[in-house]
Amino acid sequence: MEKNYYNDIEVASREEIEQVQLIRLQETVRRVYEKVPFYKEKLTSQNIKPDDIKSLNDVRKLPFTVKKDLRQNYPFGLFAVPLNEVVRIHASSGTSGKPTVVGYTKNDIENWSELVARCIMAAGGRKGDVLHNAYGYGLFTGGLGLHYGSEKLGCATIPISGGNTERQIALIQDFKPKVICGTPSYVLNIAEKMEEMGLNPNETSLQYGIFGAEPWSEEMRATLQQKLGIKAVDIYGLSEVIGPGVAIECYEAQNGLHIADDHFLVEVIDPKTLEPVEEGKEGELVFTSLTKEAFPVLRYRTGDIASITRETCICGRTTTRMSRVKGRIDDMLIIRGVNVFPSEIERCLLQVNELVPHYQIHLTKKGSLDNVEIHVEVKQGFFNTLPTSTLEDQAVYILKKKIQHIIKNECLVNVDVRIHPPRTLPRSEGKAIRIIDRRKEVASVK
């Protein structure tokens, strides 16, 4: 029977995986202790020597690394090799302050390519397939990350990047790709554009989708699968850890993302107490890199909320699986004391038949309280059937109430809703901007 995985380690026993992890953890701690002054100081100040790492649980003795540490060591201060061994640099823009910069040696690029090749295979791609890569190329890790993995697997890779949607559609029709990669919000945009052009997105050559780089819901998966007639899986990663390829769902189960345990040691912690949470419980994902040469990280706090399980998957992989990322801690909305993630609001909105799956969450201040306004867009034709403006007002009123009711029921919060006409909310060409935070602006005007 044809193998459905790329590397035997994906189906190895837990003991084998843990043996590899321990050796690599010990090597990594030694490497950063010897090569990165920042880590040497941190470890020394906590009285830890590389020899103290005797079991995987000893990872808890190590200090956490956070984004601020990367910024303070901008640009290359955390690199563990001299610059003449670095062959690639990526950076993420970051909303505030300096970008975070990461580097890769030749071996790092080789490992990363293999990890992404594993991902594409888990998603249903095979050697010889045509793969349309709509992740942005450039400093963002999405484009080049998927590109090298796709070539490694042996796919005919189309480096289209993001944007220029009509050209993307022409190439999908002409080159007949089997696999498409991109952010879920951008691929949705492509599908809608096809419909606008009078094409049926369900009738292309596409069979598999590899979507990630932003939170998305099960409801969005259902929408994308149905519109495009594909199987869609979730891919996760972050530049500080390597980029895409840290974890991916398999197309067989579409239930939990397989983490590349042999390259990353995952922990889930309570972001307040920093203590580990029980397996299966939600918390902040923390990763320690196990093989990286140029930019190793110890216990990097991702800010992403998810849970993990170590149950073997129906696809046969034995790797640790993480749940979908619910959202970033920073993006969590606290609406009158109740915590809500944008992905939970998305889940509600996608149940409303009258809406397209584009939305924005506007945050403002009303007195001293945060005010949350959900901006949604109705489908083409919503207003056409209504003969008078009074009926239009009524229809909008009823729709608002319906949306508020679903959100109240499922997320337990009251929100304001603004209805927009078709094709008026901005469309994404990469990572969608869901939250528009105007709280500070308004406060400074007052």
Q: Would you call 429 helix, strand, or coil by DSSP?
A: coil
Structure token pair of residue 129: 């397939």
| Residue 429 contacts residue 162 (beta carbons within 8 Å) | yes
Residue 65: DSSP 8-state: B
Q: What is each CA distance from 115 to 21, 93, 119, 152, 206, in whole angstroms?
A: 16, 24, 6, 10, 23
Residue 339 burial class via C-beta count within 10 angstroms: exposed 0-12, middle 13-18, buried 19 and up = middle
Residue 327 beta carbon to ligand DLL: minimum distance, rounded to whole angstroms: 7
Residue 68 beta carbon to ligand DLL: minimum distance, rounded to whole angstroms: 15
Which of 21, 133 has the CB closer to ligand DLL?
133
| Residue 250 contacts residue 233 (beta carbons within 8 Å) | yes
Which of 43, 147 has the CB closer to ligand DLL?
147
Q: Give the interface with ligand DLL as residue ranges (CB under 6 A).
A: 92, 135, 140-142, 145, 212-215, 234-239, 243-244, 302, 304, 325, 328
Structure token pair of residue 192: 């809608």
Residue 216 beta carbon to ligand DLL: minimum distance, rounded to whole angstroms: 6
Write out the DSSP string of 288-352. Answer: EESS-SSS--SSEEEEEEE-EE-PPPTTS--S-EEPPP-EEGGG-EEETTEEE-HHHHHHHHTT-
Residue 382 beta carbon to ligand DLL: minimum distance, rounded to whole angstroms: 30
Residue 352 beta carbon to ligand DLL: minimum distance, rounded to whole angstroms: 22
Which residue number has the CB closest to ligand DLL?
A: 212
Which of 136, 201 has the CB closer to ligand DLL?
136
Residue closest to 345 by CA, chosen among 211, 438, 188, 217:
217
Residue 91 beta carbon to ligand DLL: minimum distance, rounded to whole angstroms: 9
Residue 38 beta carbon to ligand DLL: minimum distance, rounded to whole angstroms: 20
Which of 234, 344 has the CB closer to ligand DLL?
234
Residue 390 beta carbon to ligand DLL: minimum distance, rounded to whole angstroms: 43
Which of 65, 302 has the CB closer to ligand DLL?
302
Residue 433 burial class via C-beta count within 10 angstroms: exposed 0-12, middle 13-18, buried 19 and up = exposed
Residue 233 beta carbon to ligand DLL: minimum distance, rounded to whole angstroms: 9
Residue closest to 313 by CA, chosen among 388, 248, 244:
248
* End-to-end alpha carbon distance in the chain: 69
Which of 376, 432 has the CB closer to ligand DLL?
432
Which of 105, 141 has the CB closer to ligand DLL?
141
Which of 17, 123 has the CB closer to ligand DLL?
123
Which of 70, 356 has the CB closer to ligand DLL?
70
What residues contact 99, with CB distance under 8 A and at least 6 apart? 74, 91, 92, 93, 139
- Measured between alpha carbons, how far is 197 from 187 in angstroms, rounded to an integer? 15
- The type of residue at 238 is L
For tokens 């080789």, name the residue: 110
Residue 412 has φ and ψ, to the nearest 5°, of 65, 30
Which H or E run contains 133?
Answer: strand 130-133
Which of 135, 208 has the CB closer to ligand DLL?
135
Which of 130, 432 has the CB closer to ligand DLL?
432
- Measured between alpha carbons, how far is 42 from 66 in angstroms, rounded to an integer? 13
Q: What is each CA distance from 426 to 193, 260, 356, in whole angstroms?
A: 13, 35, 12
